[in-house]
Amino acid sequence: MKSLKLTDPSPSPDQIQIEIVDQKKPLIGPTEALIKVSMAAINPSDVKASLGHMPQAVFPRTPGRDYVGVVEEGPKAWIGKTVFGSGGDVGITRDGSHASYLVLPALALIEKPSALTDAQAASMGVPWVTALDGWSKAGYPAPGDKVIIAGAMGKVGLAAAALAKLYGAVVIGIKRKNTAAVPGHACTELLDLEDPDLEKKLMELSQGQGYSCVYNTVGSPYLDLALNVLAHKGKQILISTLDRNCPFDIFKFFRKEMTFYGVDTLKMDTAASNQVLKKLLPHIASKRLVLPSEERPTIYTMEEAAKGFSTTFKNGGVGLLKLN
C-alpha cells in the first residue's frame, strides 16, 4: 500500500515536492471507519496547501480532501459500501485521501449514489460543499429570482448555477472571454467579463430591477460590478479573491442595504462537510439536479501526482488521482 507525503511546503507550483511512501494499514478506533480509496481529487486547495498558502495546513502529512472508496473496516452495516465525501481537515490538518487507505469518523460516511460514476463522486466534494454552504448562508433562490454566478465556468460556479436552477432561479453566468463554456451548464445567459457593455446588458436582462444575489467565486474582479447590479437588499457570496485588499463604494453598499456572505470550507471537518453534501442525495436520486456534462478530468497515477498538482494550479479545475 502507498501514500503521497508532503514533508515541507513546496517552493513553487513548478517544483511540487511530494514523495510516494509505503503505507501500513491504519488501525481504527471504535467510532471510525477504514476506507480503501479508489479515486481522489486534486483540488486547487490541495495545491495551495502544499505550497504553504494555508496557515492551518500541517507538515508532514498526506494531502487530499475529496475521495471515493469502499469501507473495509468499521460499522458492520457499512462494510463493502462505496462512500464519497470531503473535509476541511482531511489532507490539511491530518492525513488525507491521496493514499491507499483513509481513516474517517463513522459519522462522516455517506454512500455514493449509483447514478454517480467514481470520477464524478471523487471530484464533487470541495466544489459542491462550497456551493451548498454559500447558498445555505445567503438563502436559496426563490422561483423566478434573478441571480448572477461570477466565474460561472469554474467548478464552484458550475455547482452554484446548477443549484440555483434547481430552485427555479433565472441564472446569468459571467466568465472570462477566453474560457470555454462547459456543456450542460445551468446558465440561461452567459456573458464575458471583458464585454464593455456588460453592466448594461446585465441590467437589461433584469429589466432594470437588478439581481437578488451574486455568487462571486472569483472575488475582486467582480466586486464593484456586483455592487452596481445588485438590487436593494441584494446579497453577495464570496469564496475567494485575487486581490486581498479591495476598495469598494461603501456608500452604495449601505444605501442598498446589501449583505456579504463569506464561505470557508476549511473550517468544516469531514463530518460537517458531508452533512452539507448529503443535501444533494435526494436531488440526485430524483434526477432533478442536472450535472454539467464536463469532459472527464485528467486521471493521474501516484507517480504523476506532482504533474497533477502543477497542472491543477495553472489550469484550475480538478484532477483525479487513481489509488486502487
Residue ranges covered by each domain of the chain: 2-123+266-322, 132-263
- Given a contact cutoff of 8 angstroms between Cβ atoms, the answer to whether 163 and 177 are in contact is no
* Residue 4 phi, psi (nearest 5): -85, 150
* Residue 137 phi, psi (nearest 5): -75, -45
* Residue 180 phi, psi (nearest 5): -70, 150
Please list, in sequence order, all residues whose beta carbon lies within 8 angstroms of the beta carbon of residue 218, skipping any fewer than 6 positions away.
150, 151, 154, 240, 241, 242
H helices of 112-245, in order, are 118-122, 125-138, 155-166, 198-205, 220-229
Cell of 94: 491530518
Task: Judge: domain 132-263, CATH 3.30.360.10.
Answer: no
H helices of 167-269, in order, are 198-205, 220-229, 250-255
On the question of a cis peptide bond just before residue 60, with omega within 30 degrees of 0, the verdict is yes
What distance in Å separates the CA atoms of residue 322 and residue 324, rounded to the nearest whole number?
6
- Given a contact cutoff of 8 angstroms between Cβ atoms, the answer to whether 157 and 136 are in contact is no
What distance in Å separates the CA atoms of residue 132 and residue 254, rounded to the nearest whole number?
26
Q: What is the pTM of this model?
A: 0.95
- Looking at the DSSP assignment, which residues form a beta bridge with residue 122? none
- Running DSSP on this structure, what letter comes out for residue 123? T
What distance in Å separates the CA atoms of residue 213 and residue 137, rounded to the nearest whole number?
12
What distance in Å separates the CA atoms of residue 284 and residue 88, rounded to the nearest whole number?
23
Q: What is the pLDDT along the chain (324 residues), one digit of tens a residue?
A: 999 999 999 999 989 999 999 999 999 999 999 999 999 999 999 999 999 999 999 999 999 999 999 999 999 999 999 999 999 999 999 999 999 999 999 999 999 999 999 999 999 999 999 999 999 999 999 999 999 999 999 999 999 999 999 999 999 999 999 999 999 999 999 999 999 999 999 999 999 999 999 999 999 999 999 999 999 999 999 999 989 999 899 999 999 999 999 999 999 999 999 999 999 999 999 999 988 876 567 899 999 999 999 999 888 888 999 998
Q: Which fold has domain 2-123+266-322?
A: Quinone Oxidoreductase; Chain A, domain 1 (3.90.180)
Fold agreement (2-123+266-322, 132-263): yes
- Please report the pLDDT score of residue 297 as a whole number: 79
- Please report the pLDDT score of residue 296 as a whole number: 65
- Given a contact cutoff of 8 angstroms between Cβ atoms, the answer to whether 123 and 297 are in contact is yes
